[in-house]
Amino acid sequence: MSMQTNLSLSSQRTDNLAGIIDVPGDKSMSHRSLILGSLAIGTTKVTGLLEGADVLATADAMRALGVDITRHDDGTWVIVGQGLHGLVAPETALDLGNSGTGVRLLMGVVAGQAITATFTGDASLSVRPMARITDPLQQMGTHVASRDGGLLPVTITGQSEPMAISYESPVASAQIKSAILLAGLTARGDTEVIEPHASRDHTESMLRHFGATVEQTVRDDGTHHVQLHGGAQLIAADIAVPRDPSSAAFPMVAALLTKGSDITLPSIGMNPLRTGLITTLIEMGGDISILNPRDEGGEPVADLRVRHSDLHGINIPAERAASMIDEFPILSVAATQAYGTTIMNGVAELRVKETDRIKVMADGLIAAGAIVSYDDDTMTVTGGPIAGGMTVNSQHDHRIAMSFLTLGLISNAPVSVEGCETIHTSFPDFAKIMQNAGANIAETGS
Ligand code: S3P
């Protein structure tokens, strides 16, 4: 795969975004399609797969674990499943690049196989915490060796029958939950994960789609429990991946903020555990119509029509954070254009994403002239004019790059963003697609 390095883009004031914008497939579901298809018996066909760097890294890792995965010319991906015990030890380390989801879910997969694999990643992934995954896996009997403090490279030696555990996660994290459930697939008995709030449940839905028995319950104390019955084979089943609501977030906010805009985003995934941003923007006064709600391949989807709106600030409850965890950077851009103050509560997890997203967004927004403050778990933005005229670096974070390019569309002077090659992680054609809708985004210097 070739990818341009050191791509700098700059964006400037734009009005009248228009047309139909097709965003790529859902990143979370794309990773899971490749992983569960590999562990099933039979052949799984996947349509709508996100062909971004993160997902391609997971496909390469599954191939290194012995799975036959091919992309057909019509864009369909075909996975020849190896069954629950069919993976082989990779000859070299598995490099998951920038992908936290890929590396963490695959640690769970390897924990359930009698093989050893070493995991590596890029500069951003190499400083992200992995103990949150390896600690519960060790409780299941997995042998783990890692760099100081639980950082990559991590070497996992799994077992063909790990111990079934009940794990109470301190944070609502689909990556933690999914790694444990994937390891639990080959355990004898029921594996349980308990979360303080519900995180996205694509693993649970897709496991059921492949025939596994998974139960989700909410207890009186508000905790969310997921139980997987281990040992049952997964049976191949085709998957249609919906378009990613976390990618739709960028054109959605761009259209709300720019005068005269009116865009349509077809077939966006509307899983209720992913729609916190849409709820929030509507509460802020955003004109977002949810059209043709329907079920496609077992997941709810809808077309979204988004028009320029005058927004006002709101206080966003902490319980909603997990359902919009990847959308806070672009929401903080929207909040700069809302009348009054927007308070984002329960955002501590942003500090351990591809970057410390609270600090990186606050620093860049303040440099652009916005009014922003934050503490460990809260970020506050007060609306006002944006001067722009500055350069920020993505710090290997796709969502930081796209957020600041969106900010430039409403800034008085252009915003330049270095390190835009990282956008390829989740939204390969972002700049082109936004340009086609009328956005003033160009390569710096061109
Ligand atoms: C993801 C879960 C989220 C999210 C990430 C994708 C997933 O992370 O930020 O982009 O696919 O499971 P956490 O589960 O750690 O919050």
- Domains of the chain, first to last: 9-24+242-443 (3.65.10.10), 27-240 (3.65.10.10)
159 is in an annotated binding site: no
Tell how far the Cα of 173 is from the centroid of ligand 1, in angstroms: 6
- 87-112 burial code (b ≥16 CB/10 A, e <16): beebeebbbbbbbbbbbbbbbbbbbb
Residue 174 Cβ < 6 Å to ligand 1: yes
Q: State pTM to two decimals.
A: 0.98
In this structure, which residue's CA is closest to atom 5 in ligand 1? 101
Q: Tell me, rounded to whole angstroms, the distance of Cα 371 from its chain centroid.
A: 27
Minimal CA–CA distance to 322: which of 262, 374, 271?
A: 271
How far apart are the C-alpha atoms of 370 and 407, rounded to whole Å? 11
**CB 107, CB 179: distance < 8 Å:** yes
274 is in an annotated binding site: no
Tell how far the Cα of 232 is from the centroid of ligand 1, in angstroms: 26
Residue 344 Cβ < 6 Å to ligand 1: no
How far apart are the C-alpha atoms of 251 and 327, rounded to whole Å? 12
pLDDT at position 446 is 56
Does 326 participate in catalysis according to the annotation? yes
Q: Which among 28, 50, 104, 349 is the best mutation to test ligand 1's pocket, defined by most ligand atoms within 8 Å of the CB?
A: 28
Residue 204 Cβ < 6 Å to ligand 1: no
Residue 203 Cβ < 6 Å to ligand 1: no
Catalytic residue among 326, 356, 377, 397: 326
Residue 173 Cβ < 6 Å to ligand 1: yes
Tell how far the Cα of 176 is from the centroid of ligand 1, in angstroms: 9
**Which atom of ligand 1 is closest in space to residue 246's alpha carbon?**
10
pLDDT at position 4 is 63
353 is in an annotated binding site: yes
Tell how far the Cα of 411 is from the centroid of ligand 1, in angstroms: 30
CA distances 114 to 65, 143, 160, 186, Å, are 12, 11, 5, 10
Show pLDDT as tens, one digit a residue, over the chain (446 residues). Answer: 445 678 999 999 999 999 999 999 999 999 999 999 999 999 999 999 999 999 999 999 999 999 999 999 999 999 999 999 999 999 999 999 999 999 999 999 999 999 999 999 999 999 999 999 999 999 999 999 999 889 999 999 999 999 999 999 999 999 999 999 999 999 999 999 999 999 999 999 999 999 999 999 999 999 999 999 999 999 999 999 999 999 999 999 999 999 999 999 999 999 999 999 999 999 999 999 999 999 987 889 999 999 999 999 999 999 999 999 999 999 999 999 999 999 999 999 999 999 999 999 999 999 999 999 999 999 999 999 999 999 999 999 999 999 999 999 999 999 999 999 999 999 999 999 999 999 999 999 65
**CB 360, CB 379: distance < 8 Å:** no
Tell how far the Cα of 175 is from the centroid of ligand 1, in angstroms: 5
Residue 247 Cβ < 6 Å to ligand 1: no
Cβ neighbours of residue 312 closer than 8 Å, sequence gap 6 or more = 284, 285, 338, 339, 340
Residue 26 Cβ < 6 Å to ligand 1: no
How far apart are the C-alpha atoms of 330 and 417, rounded to whole Å? 15
